[in-house]
């Protein structure tokens, strides 16, 4: 790794390319997700520059790439349920509020920390991160092949060796994994069954959010109404693609946001104590090389029963 760099963009380079993409794709400095944490003193033509700066032929780019922070993900005794434990994989019932892997602002208390503690005698988890000294806490995800948002609960699968990890990742990449989610949404979704086919991309006005956008990536979601209570609907959602926040964005785009969603829930605040009503109910895939597809299921959380019972009772008392 070169600590400092000072380069001229070649005359045949395309004009208008983002600076972060140039550093990763053309200079191959490091992975894109590490730039924000490792890059210092970034300048373009002698002026301070951002990773989003657009550059062109003849521009002079300089900066310093500092060493990555040491791996600090450590095992911690955390509470989560193992639905199935096999020599090649684990199926986990992730509780609401648990972050899947370490990252900026979440270096402890994640599912990965819990796995490192619970399976500290497993050679795969015991050696995680030690074979690659360039591994940073932000990219430290032993066995993790997919994730759920912090406030989404439900079923996940974790690999217990590199071959299984590759096997699982390929299925998610090909889109052959079948997933079903339960959600309680605000309002009345009609008809009882349907499909949302609307591209999802990063919101140009709020970079931490996503939205339906013609510039986004193709995104499709099937829905089926399971139950209606006054003001709310229990739906079964099946994402046919895997975009970030896809289900939350698609439901909000119909005017029926998921209850308790702090990002896409709109101005109407949920009742006190109500959290995100989104749960990964089932996951169907081949869990290991040579294995036929298996359907894994997580039980419906108590918060769903409580919410529906409360609103059903309220309507009956009127």
Q: Which class for 290: exposed (0-12), middle (13-18), buried (19 or more C-beta within 10 A)?
A: exposed
Distance CA 207, CA 96 (A): 24
Peptide bond between residue 318 and the one before it cis (omega within 30 degrees of 0): no
Distance CA 60, CA 62 (A): 7
Residue 151 designated active-site: no
Looking only at the bridges linking them, the beta strands covering 220-229 and 232-239 are antiparallel
Place of tokens 């395309």: 14
- For the stretch 26-31, contacts whose Cβ atoms lie closer than 8 Å and that sit 24 or more positions apart, written own/partner, are 29/1, 29/2, 29/5, 29/65, 30/1, 30/65, 31/139
Distance CA 85, CA 37 (A): 36
Q: Which class for 262: exposed (0-12), middle (13-18), buried (19 or more C-beta within 10 A)?
A: exposed
Strands (E), the chain: 4-8, 17-18, 39-44, 47-48, 54-55, 60-65, 81-85, 89-94, 153-159, 178-186, 193-197, 200-202, 210-212, 220-229, 232-239, 278-285, 294-297
Looking only at the bridges linking them, the beta strands covering 89-94 and 294-297 are unpaired
Evaluate whether 199 touches 215 at the Cβ level (below 8 Å): yes
Catalytic hit among 149, 151, 163, 203: 149
Distance CA 82, CA 94 (A): 9
Looking only at the bridges linking them, the beta strands covering 153-159 and 278-285 are parallel
- Residues classed as catalytic: 149
């Amino acid at each position: 790794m070169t600590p400092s760099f000072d380069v001229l963009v070649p005359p045949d380079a395309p004009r208008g390319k983002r600076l972060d993409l140039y550093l990763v794709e053309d200079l191959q400095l490091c992975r894109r997700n590490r730039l924000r944490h490792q890059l210092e003193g970034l300048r373009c033509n002698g002026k301070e520059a951002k990773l989003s700066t657009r550059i062109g032929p003849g521009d002079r780019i300089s900066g310093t790439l500092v060493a990555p922070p040491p791996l600090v993900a450590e095992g911690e005794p955390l509470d989560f349920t193992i639905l199935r434990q096999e020599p090649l994989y684990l199926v986990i019932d992730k509780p609401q509020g648990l972050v899947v892997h370490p990252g900026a602002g979440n270096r402890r208390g994640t599912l990965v920390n819990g796995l490192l503690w619970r399976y500290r005698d497993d050679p795969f988890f015991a050696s995680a991160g030690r074979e690659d000294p360039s591994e940073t806490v932000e990219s430290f995800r032993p066995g993790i092949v997919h994730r759920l948002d912090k406030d989404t609960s439900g079923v996940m699968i974790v690999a217990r060796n590199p071959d299984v990890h590759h096997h699982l990742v390929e299925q998610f990449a090909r889109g052959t994994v079948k997933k079903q989610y339960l959600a309680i949404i605000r309002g009345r979704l009609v008809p009882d069954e349907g499909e949302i086919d609307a591209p999802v991309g990063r919101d140009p006005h709020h970079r931490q959010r996503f939205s339906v956008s013609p510039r986004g990536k193709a995104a499709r979601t099937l829905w089926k109404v399971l139950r209606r209570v006054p003001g709310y609907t229990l739906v079964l959602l099946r994402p046919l693609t895997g975009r970030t926040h896809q289900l939350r964005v698609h439901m909000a785009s119909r005017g029926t946001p998921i209850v308790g969603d702090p990002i896409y829930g709109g101005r109407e605040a949920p009742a006190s104590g109500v959290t995100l009503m989104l749960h990964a109910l089932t996951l169907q895939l081949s869990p290991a090389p040579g294995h036929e597809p298996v359907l894994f299921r997580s039980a419906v959380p108590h918060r769903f029963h409580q919410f529906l019972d409360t609103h059903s009772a309220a309507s009956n008392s009127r």
